[in-house]
Amino acid sequence: MKKMFVNEEVKFAVNGKELNGVLTCPTSGARYPAIILLHGSDRSGRDDPYYTAHAENLVRSGFAVLRYDGPGWGGGSSGGSGFETLEYRMEEALAAVKYLQSRPDIKPNAVGLWGVSQGGWICQMAAASYDGVAFIIPVSGPGVTPAEQEVYRVEAESRAAGFDEDEIAKAVLIRRLMVDMILPAPMYREVNLSDSRRLGRGLWNEFTELTYSANPVDLVAEHGNVIKILKGIEDERWTKFLHLDEVLPMLESFPPQAWGMVKEQMRAVMTVNPADFLTRVRCPVLAIFGENDTSVPVEKSVALYKQYLREAGNQAFTIKIFPKASHTLRVDGEFAQGYFDLMMDWLGNLPIE
């Protein structure tokens, strides 16, 4: 069977960093509309099968599809693969949009964004910030803040794993404390104090006291105590979805004196609010969710997308929930039936020249 697309190795720059990508183009046509694939928090490379499958399916709609390596991936993209703010990720997405708009084979008024999970927030932010984004397709893109999404994820994944109610409560308490630890105005103070007392003695009590201490904060000591507490619980089965195997190495990777700066960076991520962006998105939106998503509160996110987009005066939005589908829109390991067809049909009906 004749191949219906061609792949081109490309590079584009953002804030002095060069990123490598692959632009998948249809084999027919002179100028193409285009869509850029944005990673979730995985920040994987252009050859990840998940993104390759999307490129090779979406190109059938007549769109060129750009997928690229996250910083530090692929042996060529410069920069590290460590902590990133969502603002940086938005700048990266917009750099990709403007790169495609500069190409003679791409229609500059027809470049949009597809983003999964964390990439869904980036879609919202980019479209609100630059009217050159022609459309967005957030997939499992939360309608809530990262802080709320993370607390939901820990509870939902723990429940799906069969943990008992006390185990779930401990895991959720620790996640909420990890949020409040970095905020100047705690979100969960009352419920955390109540749950900490109810659960009895444990390191969660120490963490609660540390988070809400009335004493002046010694940031170096606080950093050490946070690590000590998390190390003290990391072998408990109920901490599985706190991902302490990733959190602890990150906390130990910088000097204690940098803890204050790191808290500010984390705060900038945790408090990003879709209300600040979706209320300014006026381009066409196709928001896709999986019914069995344990990472994102689907019903609440759908309600908030509708509320915020209507506040923006945006009537050009479609929201679809796929039955039994997961966070990655899979059912029993395969992409949900009709998932790619939905996107291709929607793209084919966009009012772009």
Longest dimension (CA), the chain: 71
Cα 123 to Cα 305: distance, rounded to the nearest angstrom: 13
> Tell me, what's the pLDDT at 77?
46
* pLDDT tier for residue 78 given thresholds of 50, 70 and 90: very low
Instruction: Provide mean pLDDT across the span 260-264.
Output: 94
Cα 290 to Cα 331: distance, rounded to the nearest angstrom: 9
Strands 64-68 and 17-26: antiparallel
Same domain, residue pair 131 and 218:
no
Closest CA to 117 of 83, 159, 82, 89: 89
Computed over every residue of the chain, the mean pLDDT equals 93
* pLDDT tier for residue 302 given thresholds of 50, 70 and 90: very high
Final residue of a domain: which of 270, 298, 321?
Answer: 270
* pLDDT tier for residue 74 given thresholds of 50, 70 and 90: low
Cα 263 to Cα 106: distance, rounded to the nearest angstrom: 41
Over residues 1-54, the pLDDT tens digits come to: 456 889 999 999 988 888 999 999 998 777 899 999 999 988 777 788 999 999
What percentage of the chain exceeds 90 in pLDDT? 84
> Tell me, what's the pLDDT at 47?
84
Does residue 293 form part of some domain?
A: yes
Same domain, residue pair 157 and 250:
yes
Same domain, residue pair 234 and 163:
yes
* Domain enclosing residue 62, as ranges: 5-145+273-348
Final residue of a domain: which of 233, 251, 270?
Answer: 270
Over residues 160-209, the pLDDT tens digits come to: 999 999 999 999 999 999 999 999 899 999 999 999 999 999 999 999 99
Number of domain units in the chain: 2
> Tell me, what's the pLDDT at 261?
94
Alpha helices in the chain (DSSP H): 49-58, 86-101, 118-129, 146-160, 165-180, 189-198, 203-211, 219-233, 244-252, 259-270, 298-311, 339-348
> Tell me, what's the pLDDT at 2?
54
Final residue of a domain: which of 270, 287, 302?
Answer: 270
Instruction: Provide mean pLDDT across the span 75-87.
Output: 60
Over residues 215-249, the pLDDT tens digits come to: 778 999 999 999 999 999 999 999 999 999 999 99
Q: Which two tokens stand for residue 346?
A: 């929607």
Residues 6+ apart with CB under 8 A from 125: 86, 87, 90, 272, 277
Same domain, residue pair 155 and 90:
no
Same domain, residue pair 160 and 247:
yes
> Tell me, what's the pLDDT at 80?
47
